[in-house]
């Protein structure tokens, strides 16, 4: 609610001092209860830029300290170190009620809140502090020893010192470490934005809560239980999922959905011991060949999934979503060239359109050896690993049933248990299917009040309009928030799209961090104006 404040005229020459003090106290109290008055987007961004330019070394030093703490979800000791470190970072900035949210058997999520006087809306910013598993031997530098380079490694970037305090850092330099982009970058950008607003006297116009998960990269197996246990504490009008890259053109984007995901490991079986391919070839079934044929039966070369009934539940693309895709700046040709691809799947369809559909991805296959480790043998087992990207209204449970039904249709006995010799002798083909965790897709209306308000805040004072994207190619647990807390969630990414996310030499382009700080300042200072007053129940 917007309230005009006028200061009553006081005759201090005739009013007793006690009455003057009471009157002034009343005015101060009344003013503190009013909603914060939003700064213009241009002024808010300028204040953020001024603060950042004076504190670049300090910001990146704090960021590097956070990146230096190992953060695999399976490493419980260091996950708790991360959580404790984040709480200290929040408390230094005046966040209240900072705490670890826990359920039995899971890593902690970190929560804190920062109220805005008179605000009628509450926004929660989600990020995660855990990172993907890795092989240190594949990295150019140790993954938890952050290294600042003067430019990208692919362009010959060399290590440079991280300056301290007010030392400047060129925006084209990059910092290399696990979770440099996914997703500790969002955390440091949020907290630096709070610092910048305070230093620049820019008012926060919505009540802010933060929720930093410690298990996202491991499938968020305990997230739903945390949301259910702490639903009252986490009550809000909406959530922003602060993760992922900017558009391939480098433009800021706001994403209204994300694909769901589930995954499985597949093992096929041949003889109980390796066999000489000359003596037994064309007689003993080869599990590698069986695996290649089974994979080919699941999807074609154009990405179309061949599993019966797989597309039956897929929600059609809406007219609003089609218009949003058509309005995106062209980038596919440039991305294709940069990746060395003569063609893409889908008959030339746009990437933004293809990620609106389900995908079956073969993550890896292993059987025998190649090159210097190749031998003339028929192996005993062959392995494959898959991830399945889901869209509304698919459910992980039904997709799992469809996949297993398809494998059975190819003549396999399907089990999730250990495979015995008796099982091999009984069934001509045996497949062990081991499912991982997963969650359904989500997609918020692109013309909803919350989405329009975020776009308005981000566009106020921006150099270019924010791109509105129907869905994210990656997966995230927004489905749980929408189901348990009954609020919308959309995605606000800030990192560079060429960040090696989930791979070796993960990195963040520093200019994306600088831009991200401005983005969060624009959001927190402008949302109160663009979102409007919360309706009274």
Asked if 225 and 103 touch (Cβ cutoff 8 Å), the reply is yes
Q: 213-261 pLDDT, tens per residue?
A: 999 999 888 999 999 999 999 999 999 999 999 998 999 999 999 999 9
| Mean predicted lDDT score pLDDT of the chain | 91
Give the list of residues 6+ apart from residue 453 with CB closer than 8 angstroms, or none: 527, 530, 531, 532
pLDDT tens track for 123-139: 999 999 999 999 999 99
Measured distance between the N- and C-terminal CA atoms of the chain, rounded to whole angstroms: 15
The predicted structure's pLDDT at residue 420: 95
Q: Residue 473 — very low, low, confident or very high, per pLDDT cuts 50/70/90?
A: confident
pLDDT recorded at residue 348: 87
Is the pLDDT at 152 greater than 70, yes or no? yes
The answer to whether the beta carbons of residues 486 and 230 sit under 8 Å apart is no
HSE (side-chain half, CA atoms, 13 Å) at 31:
10
The confidence score (pLDDT) of residue 219 equals 84
pLDDT given for residue 533 in this prediction = 65
User: Binning pLDDT at 50, 70 and 90, where does residue 35 land?
Assistant: low
DSSP sequence for 235-295: --SEEEE--SB--TTS--EEE-EEEEEEEEEEEEE--SS-EEHHHHTTTS--HHHHHHHHH
Is 204 within 8 Å of 120 (Cβ atoms)?
no
Mean pLDDT within 29-42: 58
Q: Which of 5-19, 44-58, 410-424 is predicted with the least confidence, judged by mean pLDDT?
A: 5-19
**Alpha-carbon gap, residue 71 to 140, rounded angstroms:** 19
Tokens read off for 494? 């800030």
The region that residue 94 occupies, defined by phi over 0 for left and psi between -120 and 50 for alpha, beta otherwise, is left
440: left (phi over 0), alpha (psi -120 to 50) or beta: beta
User: Does position 448 have pLDDT exceeding 50, yes or no?
Assistant: yes
- Which pLDDT tens digit goes with each residue over 308-347? 999 999 999 999 999 999 999 999 999 999 999 999 999 8
- The percent of residues in the chain predicted with pLDDT above 70, rounded, is 92
pLDDT over 80 (residue 537)? no
Tokens describing residue 362 = 């073969």
**In the predicted structure, residue 156 carries a pLDDT above the cut 60:** yes
pLDDT in tens, 407-423: 999 999 999 999 999 99
Q: 192-203 burial, b if ≥16 CB within 10 A, otherwise e?
A: bbbbbbeebebb
Split at pLDDT 50, 70, 90, the class of 479 is confident
| Per-residue model confidence (pLDDT) at position 19 | 44
Cα dihedral value 171, 177, 182, 186, nearest 10: -50
The 3-class secondary structure across 136-160, one letter per residue, is: HHHCCCCCCCCEEECCCHHHCCCEE
Give Cα 507 to chain centroid, integer Å.
Answer: 15
- 267 - beta bridge partners? 383, 432
Going by C-beta distance under 8 Å and a sequence separation of 6 or more, which residues neighbour residue 187?
A: 66, 86, 127, 129, 212
Residue 474: per-residue pLDDT: 84
Question: Rounded to an integer, what distance in angstroms lies between the CA atom of residue 222 and that of residue 214?
Answer: 10
**pLDDT tens digits, residue range 184-201?**
999 999 999 999 999 999
Question: Look-up: residue for tokens 């983005």?
Answer: 519
3 state SS of 521: helix
Q: What is the pLDDT of residue 298?
A: 98
pLDDT at site 532: 75
What digits encode the pLDDT tens for the residues 377-434? Answer: 999 999 999 999 999 999 999 999 999 999 999 999 999 999 999 999 999 999 999 9
- What would you measure as the largest C-alpha separation in the chain, in angstroms? 115
Judging by DSSP bridges, how do beta strands 430-435 and 413-415 pair with one another?
parallel
């Amino acid at each position: 609610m917007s309230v005009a404040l006028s200061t009553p005229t006081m005759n201090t020459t005739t009013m007793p001092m006690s009455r003057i003090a009471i009157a002034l106290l009343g005015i101060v109290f009344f003013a503190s209860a009013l909603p914060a008055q939003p700064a213009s987007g241009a002024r808010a961004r300028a204040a953020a830029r001024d603060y950042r330019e004076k504190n670049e070394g300090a910001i990146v030093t704090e960021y590097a300290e956070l990146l230096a703490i190992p953060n695999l979800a399976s490493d419980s000791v260091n996950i708790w170190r991360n959580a404790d470190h984040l709480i200290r970072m929040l408390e230094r900035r005046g966040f209240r009620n900072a705490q670890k949210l826990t359920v039995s058997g899971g890593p902690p999520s970190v929560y804190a809140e920062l109220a805005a006087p008179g605000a009628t809306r509450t926004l929660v910013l989600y990020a995660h502090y855990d990172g993907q598993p890795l092989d240190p031997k594949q990295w150019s530098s140790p993954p938890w020893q952050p290294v600042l380079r003067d430019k990208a490694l692919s362009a010959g970037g060399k290590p440079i010192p991280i300056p301290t305090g007010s030392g400047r850092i060129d925006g084209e330099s990059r910092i290399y470490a696990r979770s440099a982009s996914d997703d500790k970058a969002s955390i440091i950008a949020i907290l630096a934005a709070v610092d910048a607003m305070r230093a620049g006297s820019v008012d926060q116009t919505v009540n802010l809560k933060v929720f930093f998960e410690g298990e996202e990269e491991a499938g968020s197996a305990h997230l739903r239980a945390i949301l259910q246990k702490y639903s009252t504490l986490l009550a809000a009008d909406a959530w922003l999922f602060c993760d992922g890259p900017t558009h391939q053109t480098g433009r800021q984007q706001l994403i209204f959905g994300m694909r769901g995901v589930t995954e499985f490991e597949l093992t096929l079986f041949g003889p109980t011991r390796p066999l000489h391919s000359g003596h037994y070839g064309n007689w003993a079934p080869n599990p590698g060949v069986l695996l290649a044929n089974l994979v080919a039966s699941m999807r074609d070369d154009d990405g179309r999934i061949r599993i019966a009934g797989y597309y039956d539940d897929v929600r059609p693309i809406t007219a609003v979503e089609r218009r949003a895709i058509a309005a995106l700046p062209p980038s596919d040709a440039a991305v294709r060239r940069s990746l060395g691809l003569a063609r893409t799947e889908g008959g030339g369809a746009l990437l933004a359109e293809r990620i609106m559909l389900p995908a079956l991805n073969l993550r890896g296959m292993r059987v025998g050896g190649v090159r210097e480790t190749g031998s003339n043998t028929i192996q005993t087992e062959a392995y494959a690993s898959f991830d399945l990207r889901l869209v509304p209204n698919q459910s992980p449970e039904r997709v799992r049933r469809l996949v297993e039904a398809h494998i059975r249709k190819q003549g396999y006995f399907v089990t999730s248990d250990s495979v015995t010799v008796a099982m091999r002798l009984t069934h001509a083909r045996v497949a062990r299917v081991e499912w991982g965790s997963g969650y359904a897709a989500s997609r918020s209306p692109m013309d909803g009040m919350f989405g329009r308000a975020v776009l308005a805040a981000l566009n106020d004072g921006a150099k270019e309009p924010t791109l509105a994207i129907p869905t994210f190619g990656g997966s995230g647990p927004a489905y749980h928030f929408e189901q348990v807390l009954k609020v919308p969630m959309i995605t606000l990414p800030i990192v560079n799209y060429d960040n090696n996310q989930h791979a070796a030499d993960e990195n963040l382009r520093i200019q994306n961090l600088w831009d991200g700080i401005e983005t969060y300042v624009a959001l927190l200072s402008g949302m109160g104006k663009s979102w409007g007053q919360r309706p009274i129940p």
